[in-house]
């Protein structure tokens, strides 16, 4: 892609991130859909046209002037992560059906990770919306391999469900939410069982790496409930972009048949 095309896609990604941040503010709370320029805490309207512009809207907007409600930097991070993720997809897959469906998938992954971090839930509505890129991929790219992807959903979903049941039996508490199980089943349907397993493995590796860093710092404790969704989201994104390359590398170097 040319630099101009990538710049346009990057700006598009920032606006999508802006929209995702707005949706995340409403969805788990089941609240009224408030104006992005209104404080979600006190309802005061902000007379600032920058509120409609990604990234720039965060300049000088650390707290509400009416109630001192802190906005934080979540919106900035969401906009940046969304734009970068969409740019990576565009650069790797070029103008293709695969690019379109994977960008739609990213638009679902970002709010899933954000909501799971804040509320420890993965909304069913987002997974239902995920049927759109799923159907698109099946029709335009994988119509001759549908069985592989159906098996992927069954294998990954049932596999994680088994881990959840066994973990609860051993530790006498939930080790994984049912939302994670449904997410992984959807991931298997999107990626197929081979790339899906790679993505799941990457998710566990990401979780392990973060725990190894945070536990010595006292940020997390053993048996502490930590949302697993963001790690699964990270694993799925890496699987989408690099899964085939990683699988081929592994088969060529470690499997001798």
Question: 201-254: per-residue pLDDT in tens?
Answer: 999 999 999 988 888 887 777 667 788 999 999 999 999 999 999 999 888 887
Q: What is the mean pLDDT of the chain?
A: 84
The residue behind tokens 């973060």 is: 210
Chain segment 99-124, per-residue pLDDT in tens:
999 999 999 999 999 999 988 899 99
Predicted confidence at residue 205, as pLDDT, reads 95
- State the pTM of this model: 0.86
CA atoms within 13 A on the CB side of 248: 4
Cα distance between residue 66 and residue 108, in whole Å: 33
The residue behind tokens 């069982």 is: 193
CA dihedral 236, 204, 201, 157 (to 10 degrees): -70
């Amino acid at each position: 892609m040319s630099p101009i095309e990538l710049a346009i896609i990057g700006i598009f990604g920032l606006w999508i991130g802006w929209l995702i941040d707005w949706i995340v503010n409403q969805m788990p709370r089941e609240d009224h859909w408030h104006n992005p320029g209104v404080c979600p805490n006190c309802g005061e309207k902000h007379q600032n046209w920058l509120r409609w512009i990604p990234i720039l809207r965060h300049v000088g907007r650390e707290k509400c002037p009416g109630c001192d409600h802190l906005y934080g930097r979540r919106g900035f991070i969401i906009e940046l992560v969304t734009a970068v993720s969409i740019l990576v997809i565009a650069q790797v897959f070029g103008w293709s059906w695969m690019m379109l469906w994977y960008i739609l998938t990213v638009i679902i992954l970002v709010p899933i990770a954000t909501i799971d971090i804040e509320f420890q839930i993965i909304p069913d509505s987002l997974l239902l919306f995920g049927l759109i890129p799923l159907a698109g991929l099946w029709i335009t790219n994988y119509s001759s391999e549908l069985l592989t992807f159906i098996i992927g959903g069954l294998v990954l979903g049932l596999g994680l469900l088994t881990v959840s049941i066994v973990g609860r039996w051993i530790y006498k508490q939930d080790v994984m939410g049912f939302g994670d199980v449904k997410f992984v089943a959807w991931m298997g349907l999107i990626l197929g069982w081979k790339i899906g397993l790679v993505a799941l493995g990457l998710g566990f590796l990401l979780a392990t790496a973060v725990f190894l860093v945070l536990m010595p710092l006292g940020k997390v404790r053993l048996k502490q409930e930590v949302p697993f969704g963001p790690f699964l989201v990270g694993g799925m994104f890496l699987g989408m972009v690099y899964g085939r390359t990683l699988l081929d590398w592994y088969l060529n170097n470690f499997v001798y048949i």
